[in-house]
């Protein structure tokens, strides 16, 4: 790597780390004061509260990566331009595209980091922080905050229906299990008055069980006082945050969508979010390239204020366009993949045009 490239890259990394730390800290403080009333009202322990906010940091970092790169690009190239270093570099025959190589390399690296965070770290920490807040801090499980009624799910050839899940006692009330063969004939039905969660080793136990066998003639019925229910679901799997796209990686969300489709449940609202998990990391590079041409204005106008505001406005338009296109995808007005990549495509075109214009001699 050329000396100038190393010089620019070092400045980019330094300013990026400062910006990232600053924005994550501000994000954390805003969230802390927003949650403070609930934390104090529930008398949560200091360790639980600290753990909750620590688990929020990976998501904050992931969301602030584009903003931190905007900050770094503005200050790095803006100050170089302000001190006429960019002018001297360009006077020696260097082009903007050559000078922007460290930014492109750094942006691609951050995009990869964002992709790894979104696939490995963020889903786990999001699930954990939601569990801490809802279960340990607000104790919604003990108050029935996760209770739900009249729901069903499918596992292979087995169909389950439940009248009520009570999160206070981890109990499924009025469960019915239909076992179906390859011809879609019901071969067995099991009804239980209640199903209680015993422990992670034993799992679920049914009480007051009635089992009807339809594969025999005449139909046989047996009544049992207790019977185990061998299902993979745990009480936490019935909690509402399990269907939150932020708590799943791309692969987990794709498996979840396939599972929902098999169960006959619409997955339209999840498809744009699934594609967005691959599209969002690349906005880091795109926003950096969008703001780059605006950092060259101080050398000509002597002021960074207008350039900075213009660059930030255009860069943050990404979030508005992205939110709008994702909503269009959820409403089935745009194909899910196009809805997820629409903002990247539009901002990529803007970045290309702006940088092409910046190459013109001033």
Q: Is the pLDDT of residue 28 over 80?
A: yes
pLDDT per position as a tens digit, 37-78: 777 777 778 888 889 899 999 999 998 898 889 888 888 888
Residue 198's nearest CA partner among 169, 221, 177 is: 169
pLDDT for position 92: 80
CB 19 within 8 A of CB 72: yes
pLDDT at 197: 94
Would you say 7 and 103 are in contact if contact means Cβ atoms under 8 Å apart?
Answer: no
Buried b (16+ CB within 10 A) or exposed e, 161-172: ebebbbbebbbb
Reported as a single tens digit per residue, the pLDDT across 162-198 is: 998 988 888 999 999 999 988 888 999 999 999 999 9
d(CA 345, CA 338): 9
Give the C-alpha separation, 164 to 149, whole Å. 4
* Predicted confidence (pLDDT) at residue 241 exceeds the cutoff of 60: no
Asked whether residue 251 carries a pLDDT value surpassing 60, the answer given is yes
| Side-chain-facing half-sphere of 165: CA atoms under 13 Å | 23
* Percent of all residues in the chain with a pLDDT value above 70, rounded to a whole number: 92
Prediction pTM value? 0.77
What are the C-alpha distances in Å from 149 to residues 2, 244, 273, 275?
65, 19, 27, 31
Q: How many whole angstroms separate alpha carbon 10 and alpha carbon 102?
A: 9
DSSP per-residue string spanning 17-33: HHHHHHHHHHHHHHHHH
By CB atoms closer than 10 A (0-12, 13-18, 19+), residue 313 is exposed
DSSP 243: G
> 144 phi and psi, to 5 degrees?
80, 20
Q: What is the pLDDT of residue 297?
A: 62
For the chain, the average pLDDT equals 85
Q: At which residue do the structure tokens 């340990």 appear?
A: 136
Query: Averaged over 74-89, what is the pLDDT?
Result: 81
Higher pLDDT, 230 or 301: 230
Tens digit of each residue's pLDDT (9 = 90 or more) over 312-351: 777 677 888 888 999 899 888 889 999 999 989 998 898 8
Q: How far is CA 321 from the centre of its chain?
A: 18
Nearest to 80 by CA among 289, 287, 288, 296: 296
Q: Quick one: pLDDT at residue 145?
A: 72
Q: What is the pLDDT of residue 308?
A: 64
């Amino acid at each position: 790597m050329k000396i100038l490239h190393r010089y620019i890259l070092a400045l980019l990394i330094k300013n990026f780390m400062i910006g990232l730390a600053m924005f994550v800290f501000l994000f954390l403080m805003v969230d802390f004061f927003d949650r403070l009333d609930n934390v104090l009202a529930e008398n949560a322990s200091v360790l639980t509260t600290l753990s909750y906010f620590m688990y929020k940091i990976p998501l904050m970092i992931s969301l602030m990566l584009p903003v931190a790169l905007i900050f770094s690009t503005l200050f790095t190239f803006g100050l170089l331009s302000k001190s006429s270093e960019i002018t001297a570099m360009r006077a020696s025959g260097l082009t903007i595209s050559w000078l922007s190589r460290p930014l492109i390399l750094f942006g691609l690296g951050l995009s990869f980091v964002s992709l790894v965070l979104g696939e490995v770290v963020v889903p786990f920490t999001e699930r954990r922080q939601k569990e801490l807040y809802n279960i340990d801090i607000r104790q919604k499980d003990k108050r029935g905050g996760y209770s739900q009624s009249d729901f069903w799910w499918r596992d292979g050839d087995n169909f389950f229906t439940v009248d009520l899940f009570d999160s206070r006692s981890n109990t499924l009330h009025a469960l019915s299990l239909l076992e179906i063969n390859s011809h879609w004939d019901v071969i067995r039905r099991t009804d239980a008055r209640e199903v209680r969660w015993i422990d992670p080793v034993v799992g679920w136990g049914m009480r007051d069980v009635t089992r009807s066998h339809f594969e025999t003639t005449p139909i046989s019925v047996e009544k049992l006082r207790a019977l185990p229910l061998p299902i993979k679901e745990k009480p936490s799997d019935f909690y509402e945050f399990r269907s939150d796209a932020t708590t799943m990686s791309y692969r987990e969300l794709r498996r979840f969508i396939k599972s929902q489709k098999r169960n006959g449940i619409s997955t339209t609202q999840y498809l744009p979010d699934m594609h967005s998990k691959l599209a969002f990391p690349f906005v880091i590079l795109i926003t950096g390239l969008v703001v780059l041409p605006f950092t060259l204005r101080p050398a000509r106008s002597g002021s960074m204020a207008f350039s900075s505001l213009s660059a930030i406005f255009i860069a943050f338009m990404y979030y508005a366009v992205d939110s709008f296109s994702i909503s269009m995808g959820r409403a089935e007005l745009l194909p899910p993949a196009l809805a997820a990549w629409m903002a990247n495509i539009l901002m990529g075109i803007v970045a290309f045009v702006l940088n092409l214009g910046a190459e013109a001699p001033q």
